Amino acid sequence: MQVVARSTDPVRIGFLVALLDDAGIECVVLDTHISAVEGGIGAFPRRLAVRDDAAERARGVLREAGEAEA
């Protein structure tokens, strides 16, 4: 698995998941339950990961949507 995006904004993560779903790319959101530990302060980003063989395509989808990481 490769991480293709990170964000402390759960709405943005949901949008990125929708983008990848629409492109037919399976993904998983890591660290979704960290907010229970951090108290909801947004200090720990959630990570969006895809399979190794889909990582380049996923990055292309995110880049095309203007959502690529710098």
Domains of the chain: 2-64 (3.30.70.790)
Give me the count of residues in the chain: 70
Upper half-sphere CA count for residue 17 (Cβ side, 13 Å): 14
Using one digit for the tens of pLDDT, what is the confidence trace for 31-62? 888 765 666 666 788 999 999 999 999 999 99
Amino acid residing at 32: T
Residue 70 has pLDDT above 60, yes or no: no
Q: Which residue has the tokens 């943005």?
A: 12
pLDDT tier for residue 21 given thresholds of 50, 70 and 90: very high
- Which residues are within 8 A (CB) of 8 and not within 5 positions of it... i.e. 6 or more apart? 42, 43, 44, 45, 46
Distance CA 39, CA 55 (A): 31
Helices (H), 1-70: 10-22, 34-38, 55-64
pLDDT > 90 in the chain, percent:
64
pTM of this prediction? 0.84
